[in-house]
């Protein structure tokens, strides 16, 4: 590899590791120390507003309803998520975030916003456009590889590891 | 029809309730009440031009507690972009007042 490519590869991996580590550390030291990263991502998929069905949420996360049920059970017990029956069709169960869940969601998205702001602020308009386009391309490429190889297995593993603790 | 008359009246009543709840005095009263509870300060000390981030010891969790509670109370959405534009309590009142229109 060319030195430039070598640097790029190392930096990319470094960013990935550090973002995850920082999120984990911020979680463990903060107000939401009983939440894991995988659980936070479940809260993100449910979202702060309309109640979602289990199937919708499982699709967003790329996991099965069975796997999601395990995660949601824990989140209900920890009072981040609540279940309610659909008023029109009692067979449908919807899940939504509690006040505590919404707070965790918003604090987590704030972390992402701060990160983006810190990266984007020193750049010119032109540089921002180039960076945004490059990041989108990297994202599309990584996503493609992920789908090709794992078929969603990776996330399932994270959730499963998490629920085994 | 008697049934439809009742519905009309009900609608009118709920419209009036909505109008009152988005009145600026009511919104101001709600926000200052929340801030007083969160920060354990006197509600009377809060003014429309109180600078939220400079004058009040509000941390980011407390800020989001207020945001989440205001969203629930007024059934509105307050995105982070809107929060970034806020300086004073009056700004929050105006933002909620606009959202209720």
Distance CA B3, CA A15 (A): 64
Longest Cα–Cα distance of chain A, Å, equals 62
Contacts 24+ apart (CB under 8 A), A27-31: A30/A107, A31/A103, A31/A107, A31/B61
**Can you give the pLDDT at residue A152?**
52
Distance CA A99, CA A80 (A): 7
The CA distance from A29 to the nearest CA of chain B, in Å, is 14
**CB contact set of B16 (below 8 Å; sequence gap of 6+):** none
pLDDT digits (tens, 9 = 90+) for A97-137: 999 999 999 988 888 888 888 889 999 999 999 999 999 99
Interface of B with A in 41-100 (CB under 8 A): 60-61, 64-65, 67-69, 71-72, 77, 80
Average pLDDT over residues A14-28: 78
Q: Does A109 touch chain B (CB under 8 A)?
A: yes
Average pLDDT of the residues of chain A: 85
**Can you give the pLDDT at residue A162?**
54
Q: Considering only CB atoms, which chain B residues are within 8 Å of A103?
A: 61, 64-65, 68
- Cβ atoms < 10 Å from Cβ of B94: 15
Q: How confident is the model at residue A9 (pLDDT cuts 50, 70, 90)?
A: confident
CATH of the domain at B51: 1.10.1200.10
**Can you give the pLDDT at residue B76?**
92
**Can you give the pLDDT at residue A128?**
94
Write the residue in A99, A102, A113 that is nearest to B80 by C-beta: A113
End-to-end CA distance of chain B: 31
- Cβ atoms < 10 Å from Cβ of A62: 17
Q: A93: which strand partners?
A: A85
Q: A82: which strand partners?
A: A96
β-pairing, A93-97 vs A52-53, is antiparallel
Contact B80 A110 (CB under 8 A): yes
Q: Considering only CB atoms, which chain A residues are within 8 Å of B71?
A: 102
Q: Reduce the DSSP state of residue A52 to 3 states and report it.
A: strand
DSSP codes of every residue in A78-96? TTSEEEEE-SS-TT-EEEE
Q: What are the two backbone dihedrals, phi and then psi, of residue B57, each rounded to the nearest 5 degrees?
A: -85, 60
Task: Give A128-146 as a 3 state SS string.
Answer: HHHHHHHHHHHHHHHHHHH
ipTM of the prediction: 0.74
Count of domains observed in chain B: 1
Give residue B88's domain range: 2-99
The CA distance from B65 to the nearest CA of chain A, in Å, is 7
Annotated catalytic residue B59: yes
Write the residue in A31, A99, A113 that is nearest to B68 by C-beta: A99
User: A161 to each of A39, A67, A156, B54, how far by Cα in Å?
Assistant: 12, 11, 9, 44
**Can you give the pLDDT at residue B2?**
43
Write the residue in A49, A99, A107 that is nearest to B61 by C-beta: A107
Q: Does A113 touch chain B (CB under 8 A)?
A: yes
Distance CA A69, CA A54 (A): 8
**Catalytic residue (one of B59, B69, B80, B91):** B59
Average pLDDT over residues A129-153: 83
């Amino acid at each position: 590899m060319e030195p430039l490519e070598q640097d790029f590869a190392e930096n990319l991996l470094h960013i990935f590791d550090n973002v995850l580590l920082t999120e984990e550390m911020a979680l463990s030291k903060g107000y939401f120390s009983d939440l894991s990263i995988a659980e936070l991502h479940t809260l993100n998929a449910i979202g702060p507003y309309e109640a979602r069905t289990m199937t919708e949420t499982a699709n967003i996360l790329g996991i099965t309803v069975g796997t999601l049920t395990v995660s949601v059970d824990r989140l209900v017990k920890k009072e981040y998520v609540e279940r309610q029956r659909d008023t029109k069709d009692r067979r449908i169960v919807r899940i939504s975030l509690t006040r505590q869940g919404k707070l965790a969601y918003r604090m987590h998205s704030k972390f992402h916003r701060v990160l983006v702001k810190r990266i984007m602020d020193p750049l010119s308009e032109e540089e921002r456009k180039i960076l945004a386009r490059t990041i989108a391309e990297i994202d599309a490429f990584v996503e493609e590889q992920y789908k090709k190889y794992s078929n969603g297995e990776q996330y399932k593993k994270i959730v499963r590891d998490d629920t085994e603790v | 029809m008697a049934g439809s008359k009742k519905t009309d009246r009900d609608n009118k009543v709920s419209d009036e309730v909505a109008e009152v709840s988005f009145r600026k005095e009511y919104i101001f009263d709600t926000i200052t009440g929340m801030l007083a509870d969160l920060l354990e300060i006197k509600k009377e000390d809060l003014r429309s031009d109180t600078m939220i981030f400079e004058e009040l010891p509000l941390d980011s969790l407390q800020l989001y507690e207020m945001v989440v509670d205001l969203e629930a109370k007024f059934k509105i959405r307050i995105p982070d972009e809107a929060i970034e534009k806020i300086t004073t309590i009056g700004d929050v009142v105006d933002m909620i007042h606009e959202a209720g229109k």
